[in-house]
Structure 1
Amino acid sequence: MKLSSLFALTPIAFALSVNAQTTQSNTVEVKEADVEKIRIVGVRQNRVSRGATGLTMEISETPQSISILSEDLMQSFGAFNINDALKLAPGINVEEWETNRTNYTARGFEIKNTQIDGVGLPNDWGIVTGSVEAYGYEEIEVIRGANGLLTGVGNASGTINYVRKRPTNEEGGEVGASFGSYNFKRVQGDYSMLLTEDGSWAARVVGSFEDKESHLDGLENDRGFVYGVIDGQLTDNATITFGLSYQ
């Protein structure tokens, strides 16, 4: 009798189990239909160049004495060339010992190491430059003191890192004109554009032209500058940048 009762109850238990699973499945379908769907669109990281230290740390956390000359600072003081810009940096001496040749010193030593976007350009004879255009740089980083531990090159004076402008993730630009003493005239323009809808490829064009006389008889300075760069995303972890400048 016990055995027959067991077999009699088994179909009932199976039917209840199937009914419970069907009800649960219908409840899940109703809940999924009521859930609001949100689409998340990824945004490309800002196109920035790594600093002179090669570290991803913030400037305030970097164990070096660093000063930043931003584009806004240089434009506010009318520092259109690198010589005038570096005069704004504390601890840097700009020695203009001829009309168009300059070298820089810091902490009593001549600066023999410069970088462009963190790539070192050592020069054992020191740096002798003219009035190089500064409008093509996003910022100028000045590291005072030895930097060989972080970059592989450097001396006791310091390191100057020129961070070039790169395309932005939004389209936009500016146009400006300046006038001053000694018949100074200058026009400049900067524009960044997206080449694809998702922003994976972008370009930026920068240009300026300057003409100025001098307090020295017969000395005139005119300078033209054109800079173009294209930035593209090859894969999720790889980018490529093409740049061309003329001065």
Structure 2
Amino acid sequence: MKKIVITGAANGIGKATAIACVEAGYYVIAADKDRLGLQALQARLPTHRLETHLADFSQPQVYQSFIGDLYDRHRHNALEALVNNAGIYHGKSVYDYSDEEMEEIWAVNLKSLVYLSKDFARRESGATHLRSIVNVTSVAGEVGSMDALYGATKAGVIGLTKAGVIGLTKANAWNFAPRIRVNAVSPGLIRDTSIHDRIPEPRLKEYERQEIIKAPIQPDGVADVILFLLSEKSRHLTGKVIAVDNGAYPR
């Protein structure tokens, strides 16, 4: 059975992706710091297809050892894919961030992704079949956000610089080739998530105004795209960023 690691799996897009992957026949290793959310996921999915880990990816000792522990302590011989979904959004001005919050958002949204990805790639670079990494970024990484640190960390995931889109997802697609594909999804306004509830009302209305498809995007809509990127159907895609945003912010 193919095994997939999903971070931030207790709620929102991560939860929807875990459910979709189990329904598609995968074995899911779900990680999150939300104990109750993980318990709810366990209650919903078959125990022989789901493994949960309580993990706070703001802590260096966690993100620096997590992948290695899956192989060495938990005896997983091979992992098929990694979905880097864990993320933090506070929805406030950079002026209002404490030093601790700054460190936390950099750690969860960017640094943990670097460590998890390279450790996964190091372990699976000799795999006989293609492996896959999917990074969950945000439209905020491309068009900006009133939460400057959220936008900056999400831009780091897809790699916006003055030279163009050359950052982490694309660089890792080169670094980890030819055995590991690396792609990203860039969600727009996703309903029924903790992030949605923190977006200031003016920004919500602006996101909604930009959408040219009016059916509200739910977490399972993003999960469907992630599942495609994990599957053989996307075997020729790497280094790509796919927007799931109802056509908002053409770019």
Answer yes or no: same fold by TM over 0.5.
Answer: no
Q: Give the structure with the larger helix fraction.
A: 2
Q: Give the structure with the larger strand fraction.
A: 1
Higher relative contact order (CA 8 A, sep 6+): 2
